[in-house]
Structure 1
Amino acid sequence: MHNTQVAVNESFGAWCVGQLALLGHVLFQTSGSSGKAKWVALSKSAMLASARAVNTHIGVKDGDSWGLALPIYHVGGFGVLVRSFLNGGRCAVFHRKWDPVAFSKFVYEEHCQHLSLVPTQLVDLVRARCVAPECVDSVVIGGGRLEDRIFEDAKALGWPVLRSYGMTEASSQIATGDNGDGYLRVLEGWSLRLSESGELEWKGKAGLSFYVVQDGSSTGWSIVDPKRSGWFRTQDRVLLRNGEVKVLGRSDHLVKILGELVDIQEIEELVEHHCRCACVIFAQEDQRRGVRLVPVLETDGVATLPPLAGLQRLEAPLYVQSFPRSGLGKIQREKLRAILNV
């Protein structure tokens, strides 16, 4: 770790000690759009409320065992420990460097009944053709979009996969489990509604207390409550129906081309399905069209793009052998943009 980062962490820790509002809270770092450090403050009661709701929702019984293969400095990993604590079961920790074959063996030997993984890990299990041990009752997948093809392949290998939707600000899951139509069942304790612009807003006992953000004040940090009358607004466009939610995409993935809205995430999914590799599309300003779409593909070779035209027309692709990713496998888009200078 760089000396400057150590200094920042030490000053932040010292500041936290003097904040009475932070008592009884766990802080998880998240990425702010400004690039400044931002932490999500989750209370002990919020984490427990989330764990109870998840255990009930996916049918965890008293004494059931968990397998942990996520870092506990992320809410997904920490949440597994809390769920295990509440249901009185043991939690086996996969301490080794991630490897799908070794993990499958670990799950079998430790008799893990419930797992929480990110899409990248499930992709690895599928590609390695790892068959699920019979002991596994549920595999919650969160932290990113899961392709239908991977979902179906994982089910064929015996992994009882449950798609989920959630975020750090919600202590983990908001909705989990679908019937194949894209709608996920909302967990008990959450109230959902649409904002005037069609974005999801939620309220519940498992929600964050506030953000701690880096600012220009004398102390360098401040506490900010992002909720309005208890409601937290996301950037996610969704459909709601009878206790279910379907995520359509993020509002910040919509761009205007020749005056019409175009969904970048939708095009990324089309390219990934066609090229069989990860894709990130960057929007660049263009004097005539308003925006040019520049695709970046994660591949060793050269791929042929699908025949997209009109508003979905793409520029010549860029190729990167390996995208920068977070510890949970999420593509770090801004870091990739800086590397490519696009």
Structure 2
Amino acid sequence: MSTMNLFGNLLAQNLENHHDIPLLTLRKKEFEESVLCEIFSNKHGIDFITITYGEFFRAAEFISGFLPQEDNFVNISLKNRADFFIFASALIVSGKTAVLIPPDATDLNAYRISGAEKTIDRAGINSFMSSVRASGKILRNDDDIAPLKNRLLKLDDSAGIAVIFTSGSTSGPKAVPLSGFNFYSSFINTRNLFPYVAGEKWYLSLPPYHVGGFSVFMRALLSGMEVVAGETNPEKEDFYKELEITGSNYVSLVPTQIQRICRNKIKAPSSMKYVLTGGAPAGKDLIAKSLELGWPLYIVYGMTETAAFFAGGKVTGEEDPGFAGRPLGACTVTFTDEQAAASDRGIITVKTGAVTRGYINGEDAFNSRFSDGSFVTSDTGYSDREGNLFISGRTDNIIITGGKKVNPAEVEEALKRLLPGVQAAVIGIKDEEWGERVTAFIESDLADPTDLFLRLKNLLEGYKIPREIVYLEEFPLTGPGKIDRQTLRKNYQNLKRSV
């Protein structure tokens, strides 16, 4: 087992160097509904409450003394982000692994792993605080941080920090264990594109229990940046007001959020430097509109299995479809042709220190995709002469219709060209005659289907043209903002159809 502690050393260094600068800024209401409000009863503010690095880590250490000592894995299922981050950090300080369960999960069996018996949820917090009050112990502002630094310095890089579940947009969620070394490697590699300057602010717009949101917090812990936990819904005016008021410099947005920004013609705040987008492909028209509004877009590409993104690049609007930037830092990408669709260059394999060791309780067929720090993804793509990576589709999305393979990404790109600014998804629906029927879902009811079918003939071969178009008011999404293809397929019969 590794005895390195690059992750813990950097945490301890940031605790010492950034002790008095903000780590977490919370909306006042969210703070008041969290355990931090009782721990820091002297904290006051009008709209936001700020917690410094020193305050936060001391609170995490204090809370760790009341956590179950016998369990190595502890479930966390909390909607309140202050509670979520402080308990996740308390587990890190204790050398335990947080199992991150979406608080709105309906099928909890899908999120169970062996060894994780205790759950910190809303009821668990109430019980926890009763124990704290009964103990008579309080957090003192003058507590010496030396013992905490020593605990951080003893963390093992190979030890688990979190188990994060994949979003399950095409299959059920899989449990991904991520270690300190995984997060450290991701941080070091991606710093080749983003500077992560101490004191700069990252506006948290993604759920913290998915890798996109959790990795924002990890980057802050390792860099001295500040996380601003504000409004997450771009449909609400507060989202843009808080970006401006807080002077946020970074934000991560999925294409559906960018679409709403463009629809409402919202200009980027002057403080904004980096807008990271990933999770689903954004069309050229959407990119052009957002750039016109001043949003500095950077495409990023990665997944839960790689502790968030491992490739990325600045977007100008001139990139070819599927542009995903370049592999960052000590990361290599290769391609395998054996199982790829005819129109693709190869299945993408990534090798980096950020790759997980494999799924927990995973089937052999899934875990065989991991080997010596490399991961065979479900994505297909290619690279150009400049080393840019392009994503062309997914092996698990390929539609077989009449014995021919159809890449949904190619059909979706054609639809987006004909319907600028409109979200589209293409899946295969079981069909007795064709095996699967190419079916398009469009987040609009403005397109004339007859005209659309005719125009698609100029862009696609006949067998690739959707045989059916389904109009939706809004796409079902997974937590990270990806279109939920499982739900589309499951609810297909109940949706309004236009043929």
TM-score category of the 2 structures, normalised to the smaller one: 0.7 to 0.9
Aligned to 1:321: 473
Secondary structure in 2 aligned to 1:14?
coil
Of residues 285, 306, 330 in structure 2, which corresponds to 1:149?
285
Of residues 266, 269, 282 in structure 1, which corresponds to 2:427?
282
The letter for the 1-side match of 2:437 is R
Report deviation, 1:278: 2.8
Aligned to 1:330: 482
Per-residue CA deviations over 1:269-319 (Å, capped at 9, x if unaligned) read: 222332453333332455665543222333356643242342223323233
The letter for the 2-side match of 1:108 is E
Distance 1:316 1:243, change over 3 A: closer
Secondary structure in 2 aligned to 1:122?
helix
Report deviation, 1:55: 3.0
Report deviation, 1:13: 5.7
Aligned to 1:220: none
Secondary structure in 2 aligned to 1:80?
helix
The letter for the 1-side match of 2:475 is F
Indicate yes or no: 2:205 matched with 1:205: no
Conserved 8 A contact 1:101-1:128? no
Of residues 113, 133, 147 in structure 1, which corresponds to 2:269?
133
Conserved 8 A contact 1:274-1:306? no
Which deviates more, 150-159 or 272-281? 272-281
Report deviation, 1:50: 0.9
What's the TM-score once normalised by structure 1's chain length?
0.84
- d(CA) in 1 for partners of 2:331 and 2:250? 23
Conserved 8 A contact 2:170-2:396? no
What's the TM-score once normalised by structure 2's chain length?
0.60
Conserved 8 A contact 1:268-1:280? yes
Tell me the percent identity.
Answer: 27
- d(CA) in 2 for partners of 1:55 and 1:316? 45
Distance 1:213 1:36, change over 3 A: farther
The letter for the 2-side match of 1:317 is I
Distance 1:196 1:300, change over 3 A: closer
Secondary structure in 2 aligned to 1:150?
helix
Conserved 8 A contact 1:175-1:244? no
Distance 1:9 1:208, change over 3 A: closer
Which deviates more, 314-323 or 281-290? 281-290
- d(CA) in 1 for partners of 2:479 and 2:250? 21
- d(CA) in 1 for partners of 2:402 and 2:113? 48
Distance 1:16 1:168, change over 3 A: farther
- d(CA) in 2 for partners of 1:194 and 1:141? 24
Distance 1:289 1:96, change over 3 A: closer
Per-residue CA deviations over 1:41-100 (Å, capped at 9, x if unaligned) read: 111111122123223312333332221111110111111112222221222111465535
Which deviates more, 33-42 or 229-238? 33-42
Secondary structure in 2 aligned to 1:155?
helix
Report deviation, 1:320: 3.0
- d(CA) in 2 for partners of 1:339 and 1:189? 43
Conserved 8 A contact 1:55-1:83? no
Aligned to 2:398: 254
Secondary structure in 1 aligned to 2:359?
strand
Conserved 8 A contact 2:169-2:478? no
Per-residue CA deviations over 1:180-214 (Å, capped at 9, x if unaligned) read: 33441221021111114321111111111221237
- d(CA) in 2 for partners of 1:9 and 1:230? 25
Unaligned runs of 5+ in 1: 216-222
Report deviation, 1:121: 1.4
Per-residue CA deviations over 1:207-248 (Å, capped at 9, x if unaligned) read: 112212377xxxxxxx94631343211121111245421111
Distance 1:33 1:316, change over 3 A: closer
Conserved 8 A contact 1:275-1:303? no
Unaligned runs of 5+ in 2: 1-102, 120-156, 339-345, 495-499
Of residues 107, 129, 133 in structure 1, which corresponds to 2:243?
107
Distance 1:100 1:54, change over 3 A: farther
Secondary structure in 2 aligned to 1:166?
strand
Distance 1:101 1:195, change over 3 A: same
Conserved 8 A contact 1:131-1:158? yes
- d(CA) in 1 for partners of 2:226 and 2:440? 45
Conserved 8 A contact 2:170-2:397? no
Per-residue CA deviations over 1:21-47 (Å, capped at 9, x if unaligned) read: 994231111155995542111111111
Conserved 8 A contact 1:281-1:296? yes
Secondary structure in 2 aligned to 1:45?
helix
Distance 1:2 1:311, change over 3 A: closer
Aligned to 1:14: 116
Conserved 8 A contact 1:64-1:87? no
Indicate yes or no: 2:371 matched with 1:228: yes
- d(CA) in 1 for partners of 2:471 and 2:309? 34
Aligned to 1:190: 331
- 1:117-128 matches, within 5 Å, as 117-128=253-264
Which deviates more, 228-237 or 3-12? 3-12
Q: How many residues align?
A: 333
- d(CA) in 2 for partners of 1:109 and 1:289? 55
- d(CA) in 2 for partners of 1:93 and 1:136? 16
